[in-house]
Structure 1
């Protein structure tokens, strides 16, 4: 599919079926009084971020590992209007702004087995049963988590750029990745999980052509000078119009490692 593939396939290695640190950062809330200068937050290295990002066994019910297909280069991902770039970057697992270091992981929901399920051959499936089975098998939350560390007030400015873009690009935008173009029809702010020092959550609706609209969910959370960006897609839920969101267990597990 167009930029639904552009926005998540490169980051999540999925085909949306549409016709195809150390000790962490200093707590900025910890001041000695009104107007007191805040101590400079520590800028984390990639090695330190690798110790802080979620790992195998950290999120019950999810398999955590490397991002299949990798994260695309920043230069390969751009919106038709530059002010929407922070949204497109977040959706593809690219840390917003200009981080000093970053790293990413993928958390895939484990499929729950239904004891009533029994092996069925394709020949035994009535019309529509195969499609229903396919959608059910794809009803899994897949989330890319990207941690990034920033110099100075870089984390605050990067988060602000995402928040500003949610408002400025509410009517939709066009995007491109490595020559592949696509259209997002709507951007809407959502309630965030409430972790970290400040955050913004949003849903972007992708124009999935004949298969209808496909929502993509994201949340960016600031923990001192570190940003955690979460991008979630659920192909099965999108195809059946079932609501889903950035999974709370993933956000909770990552937030716990950044305290």
Structure 2
């Protein structure tokens, strides 16, 4: 792949993946055994309680230094700033679309969010200048640069029984939206062709995890992204992970356990 074709590939990635899918890699350079299974646990519903405030959630969300091997910072313009920037053709699928946008899945009283991006050491090929690379080296280096797990982490709190109701809405949406839906984020439409339950992380009081298969321009097969919503008492933790390199190659990846565990530890 020469530099021109590499630039075209990068442009294709930027416009073909979810509009809210963290495509900063371009700017700067699976299957599960629990198919179709309901991954939410049978834990008691969250008790009605007063929601945590935004300042409290900001202290609880993972920050730089909390996750080894990851850079953690605010999402900047990589994600929709609010739910007004996310439109869904099926109302029942909104909780999934919001979770996939790094937003609170329900009408929260307060929320906080950060981005955890995997740190990777450059390969020998990537350390070379583009002019010195052989064609195969350029393609490998470009693919490797994109093969980074990026996870939007969100915390949201709800008054009264809002936590339990929101968690149920996410679980219900897995069945209601299994055949897919169309969402528009920041003005760009994206077709989700399938939603499937996945095995959850097992953290918190109960959790529901899912994968979403999305159409990608220029790619015959859809790409897969992963999300999970975990209840910790009256607070919901939301994780949305995408790996651009894996989307292009079809390799499997998951929500990084180390990110989930770090966030769970701060909510105990």
Q: TM-score, normalised by structure 1?
A: 0.84
- More deviation, 243-252/125-134: 125-134
Q: CA contact under 8 A between 2:193 and 2:214: conserved in structure 1? A: yes
Matches within 5 A, 1:30-49: 40-49=48-57
Residue 5, structure 1, aligned to residue 13, structure 2: no
Counterpart of 1:215 (choices 197, 200, 224) is 224
Q: Tell me if structure 2 keeps the 8 A contact 1:206–1:214.
A: yes
CA 1:13–1:101: 2 relative to 1, 3 Å: farther
| Separation in structure 1 between the aligned mates of residue 175 and residue 26 of structure 2, nearest angstrom | 26
Instruction: Name the structure 2 match of 1:144.
Output: 152
Q: Which runs of 5+ in 1 are unaligned?
A: 18-28, 31-37
Cα 1:221/1:174, change in 2 over 3 Å: same
Q: Is the 8 A contact 1:3 1:176 kept in 2?
A: no
Partner of 2:61: 53
Asked whether the equivalents of residues 146 and 245 of structure 2 are also in contact (C-alpha less than 8 Å), the reply is yes
Query: What is the CA distance between 1:5 and its match in structure 2?
Result: 3.1
CA contact (8 A) 1:5 1:14 kept: no
Alignment check: 8 A CA contact 1:76 1:177 kept: yes
In structure 2, list runs of 5 or more residues that go unmatched: 1-13, 28-42
Q: How many residues align?
A: 238
Distance 2:248 2:237 in 1: 28
**Offset at residue 216 of structure 1 (A):** 1.0
Deviation at 1:96, TM superposition (A): 0.9
The residue aligned with 2:96 is 87
2:175 equivalent to 1:167 = yes
CA contact (8 A) 2:86 2:185 kept: yes
1:190 aligns with 2:198: yes
String of CA shifts for 1:59-81, please: whole Å, max 9, x gaps: 01111111121543212212111
- Tell me the SS of whatever aligns to 1:176: strand
In the alignment, the residues of structure 2 paired with residue 219 and residue 119 of structure 1 have an alpha-carbon distance, to the nearest angstrom, of 35
**Any idea what SS the aligned residue of 2:93 has?**
helix
2:256 counterpart of 1:247: yes
CA contact (8 A) 1:139 1:237 kept: yes
Deviations 1:177-201 (A, max 9, x none): 2432121111111100000111100
CA 1:120–1:16 in structure 2 vs 1: closer, same or farther (change >3 Å)? closer
Conserved? CA contact 1:78–1:175, under 8 Å: yes
Indicate the residue corresponding to 2:39 in structure 1: none
Q: Contact 1:5 / 1:16 at 8 angstroms: preserved in 2?
A: no
In terms of mean alpha carbon deviation, does 69-78 or 89-98 score higher? 69-78
**TM-score for the superposition, normalised by structure 2:** 0.81
CA contact (8 A) 1:146 1:230 kept: yes
